Amino acid sequence: MKTSPLLSRILGVSAALVACVPFYAQAQAPAYVSAPMVTLNAPAYPAHGAQACGLFETCATTKQGLGKGDFLIRLSALGVLPQDTSSRVGVIGGRVSASNQVMPELTFEYFFTDHISLDLIAASTRHQLAVQDSALGKVDLGSTWVLPPTVTLAWHFRPHRRFNPYVGVGMTLAFFYDINPAGGAVQKLDLRTTVGPAANVGFDYQIAGNWFVNVDAKQMFLSVPAYINERGGGVGPFIHARDSLNPTTVAAGIEYRF
């Protein structure tokens, strides 16, 4: 089939234009540079339905029980029960007695290992003193405050368990201050600082989160020298007495682990 010269010329020009299109488009297209991807750190929100762990809540991250590295502060109600197991009273004879007392107690405790902890108790109590069954009957001596800081090294039987009983041994240093003689025949009263061994038994129980309850009983062994009307300080005779005070302390309180 023959084509006219005019048609052939038109087809040739069209083919040339089509061939030039890719080259022209490539030359005219703007150059784009790949930009780096920017990642925005979205704020961390709890998973749907999850809640922050409260001060009094036990969560998945809460450690069970007590163990190495734990530090506790405990506030307790403390009962001090002097035993007065033996006394020696010069001149008038008889025996020394001290009254019972209840006061707050603050305790600091640190766990060196899962089983071994060291604690320090701080409490001060006021006691009435008297000589019983003397040649003069009952003789009121007066009152005194005592500060007996006690350091105890304890062995804990069940580390990392909610219920953890323990036993311990330690030392007590007893300071007597604000001593008030009874007056009358007792114008002067002096009680000397004393030191003695102590033993204790108790348990910790985890109630929620880092909160625990504690029950503790200590037996202290203190032989206290007392000087009544020393160097002619009163109208009565000078009396040197010694009392094996040996107080038993019973405490119950709440503690928090840091």
Q: Categorize the per-residue pLDDT at 5 as very low, low, confident or very high, splitting at 50, 70 and 90.
A: low
Region 123-146: mean pLDDT is 94
Distances (CA, A) of 128 to 90, 99, 100, 132, 145: 20, 5, 8, 12, 9
pTM of full prediction above 0.85: no
What is the fold of 70-257?
A: Porin (2.40.160)
Which residue would you say has higher pLDDT here, 101 or 51?
101
Q: How far is CA 122 from CA 38, 65, 103, 164, in A?
A: 59, 24, 11, 23
**Amino acid 60: pLDDT:** 74
